Structure formats: structure tokens, C-alpha cells
């Protein structure tokens, strides 16, 4: 009896210690990551996975539950909602709360907190291949050029860029052209990109030339073959603006500002209807050395 009594006491103490340890570990796990600060800006910039094939988890705020992985959707554009500083083991790190809506191949919405070092600002291929991306959604030249090269609605844009020798497509100049001058389809349908004047880098350029006769032609030739449109644009540039092939070849350090939004659905009836998204902006300018 004494032996059983002592054994019971030992087992009781051991079980009690185990419970305390388990409780302590649970409490520690729950407080491993603490919120130092969190901001929810109005702007919702786009981000994509910096390492698309790397298994990177999206967490809840306490970093105790995984909601999914970035590599499950390597070609997805995420919207950043918050900027959060979390502390773990006396180290502070910046996390972004990001989300992406469901798709046919990935029905569930994907969201969660992820370390900002695993993301890079910009669009992923799901949008770069789409038929329409608002100009204000682009944050760098590379993404804008990729959209022009991959989107099925950008054949005329790509053809015009290729036809202008020694000139690089510039997002900065495109923003200036869109803000300063652009052709909408109609007064009832204002598709002008939401470019803010404060974001325009006009000091970076000189000798800016806009081409209203070109954009007017592009607006009314939406259904014409790309090769025919390109030929007519070249004719207008030479006849009305003196920009012959020889003249274009002589220009040094010039860039292109070009935004064409048309045929955004791939349906001829819709794309030429009264509510169709159409917008045209075109300029060239000499880049000022900074």
C-alpha cells in the first residue's frame, strides 16, 4: 500500500509538471509573434511571389496557422492590404497582408501574412497576359513592356513600339502622355487612366511630342488589321509631323509613351459597343540625363 501510495504521488507530480510544461509551451507558441505596429493604407499595390517555386506560407497574424502557400499560385497577382511589423525572438520583421481572389483552377481566395522579403512589387503573369490592365496598376517599365508583349489586345501597341527604332517604351512617359493628352471613345465613357499629376516625372523629359492625329486614327480604326494600321500611322507621322524614317533614325536618347486600351474582352460586339473600354495616348520625348 505504501508503495502504491508513493507511486501515485510520483505519477501525480509528473503529470502535473507535464501539464504545466504543455500549458507554458502553448502560451509561448501563442505569443511567439507579437504585433509591434500595423498600418492599413488606402492604396492597395500589387505584388507577386519573389521566388515562385519556393514553399512560402501565408500565416494568420499570430503566426500559428497556415492559410496556404505562395507556390500554390506562382503566377498570381496579390493585393497588399496592410503593412505589419511582427516581433519574434527580439527580432522585428515587416510582413504584408496580401490576398488574391479565387479562379477557376484555384476556387478559394488566398490570403494571409507573409514576410515582405518573399514578395516583389509588380504584376504576375495572370494579369500580364490578360486583355486589359489599367495603366495605373503598373509600377515599373518591365511589367508594362511584358504586358504589351503578352496581352492579346496589345498587338498594335507592340507593332508601333517595334516600328520606332532606337526608342524604349517608358512607363513614365506613357503616364505623362495619358495625363496630358489621350483619346477617349466618347464623353460618356471616360476611360482615362487614374494617373495623378503628382506622380508625373515631366522633369525627366524634353522635346515632348504628342500625336493627336495618330490617336484619332487609332480610335476610329479599332477593327482594322494591325499591319494596315501600322502603315497608316507611319504615313501620318511622316506627312503631318515630319517624322520620316530617316528623321526617326536620327533621334537620340528618345523614349516612347504609348497606351492603347481596346479589344479588352475579345468579343467584337462588346468591344465596339457604347460601354467599351477604349483609350489612346501616344508621345515621344528625349530623356534628360539625370
Lowest mean pLDDT among 195-199, 218-222, 223-227: 195-199
Residues 6+ apart with CB under 8 A from 28: none
Model confidence over 101-150: pLDDT tens digits? 988 888 889 999 999 999 999 999 999 999 999 999 999 999 999 999 99
Model confidence over 143-190: pLDDT tens digits? 999 999 999 999 999 999 999 988 999 999 999 999 888 765 444 444
**Look-up of cell digits 507611319:** 234
pLDDT at 131: 97
- What domains appear along the chain, each with residue ranges and CATH number? 34-121 (2.30.30.170), 129-287 (no CATH)
CA-CA-CA-CA torsion sign (276, 79, 257, 150): negative
Name the percent of the chain lying above pLDDT 90.
73
pTM higher than the cut 0.95 = no
Model confidence over 52-61: pLDDT tens digits? 999 999 999 9
CA-CA-CA-CA torsion sign (245, 246, 249, 250): negative
- In the three-class reduction of DSSP (H, G, I as helix; E, B as strand; rest coil), residue 86 is classed as strand
Q: 154-188 burial, b if ≥16 CB within 10 A, otherwise e?
A: bbbbbebbeebeebebbbbbbbbbbbbbbbbbeee
- In the three-class reduction of DSSP (H, G, I as helix; E, B as strand; rest coil), residue 219 is classed as helix
Phi-psi region of 192 (alpha: psi -120 to 50; beta: other; left: phi over 0): beta
Amino acid at each position: 500500500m505504501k508503495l502504491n501510495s508513493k507511486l501515485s504521488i510520483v505519477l501525480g507530480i509528473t503529470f502535473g509538471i507535464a501539464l504545466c510544461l504543455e500549458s507554458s509551451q502553448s502560451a509561448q507558441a501563442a505569443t511567439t509573434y507579437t504585433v509591434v505596429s500595423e498600418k492599413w493604407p488606402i492604396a492597395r499595390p500589387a505584388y507577386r511571389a519573389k521566388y515562385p517555386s519556393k514553399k512560402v506560407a501565408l500565416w494568420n497574424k499570430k503566426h500559428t496557422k497556415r492559410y496556404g502557400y505562395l507556390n500554390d499560385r506562382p503566377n498570381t497577382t496579390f493585393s497588399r492590404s496592410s503593412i505589419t511589423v511582427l516581433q519574434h525572438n527580439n527580432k522585428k520583421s515587416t510582413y504584408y497582408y496580401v490576398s488574391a481572389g479565387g479562379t477557376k483552377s484555384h476556387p478559394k481566395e488566398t490570403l494571409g501574412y507573409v514576410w515582405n522579403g518573399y514578395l516583389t512589387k509588380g504584376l504576375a503573369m495572370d494579369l500580364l497576359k490578360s486583355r486589359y490592365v489599367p495603366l495605373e496598376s503598373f509600377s515599373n517599365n518591365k511589367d508594362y513592356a511584358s504586358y504589351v508583349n503578352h496581352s492579346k489586345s496589345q498587338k498594335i501597341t507592340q507593332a508601333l513600339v517595334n516600328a520606332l527604332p532606337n526608342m524604349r517604351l517608358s512607363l513614365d512617359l506613357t503616364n505623362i502622355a495619358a495625363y496630358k493628352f489621350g483619346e477617349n471613345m466618347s464623353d460618356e465613357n471616360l476611360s482615362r487612366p487614374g494617373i495623378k499629376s503628382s506622380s508625373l516625372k515631366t522633369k525627366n523629359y524634353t522635346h515632348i511630342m504628342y500625336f493627336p492625329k495618330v490617336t484619332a486614327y487609332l480610335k476610329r480604326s479599332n477593327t482594322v488589321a494591325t499591319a494596315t494600321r501600322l502603315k497608316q500611322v507611319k504615313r501620318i507621322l511622316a506627312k503631318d509631323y515630319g517624322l520620316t524614317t530617316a528623321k526617326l533614325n536620327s533621334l537620340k536618347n528618345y523614349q516612347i509613351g504609348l497606351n492603347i486600351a481596346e479589344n479588352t474582352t475579345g468579343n467584337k460586339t462588346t468591344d465596339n459597343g457604347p460601354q467599351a473600354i477604349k483609350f489612346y495616348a501616344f508621345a515621344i520625348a528625349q530623356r534628360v540625363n539625370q
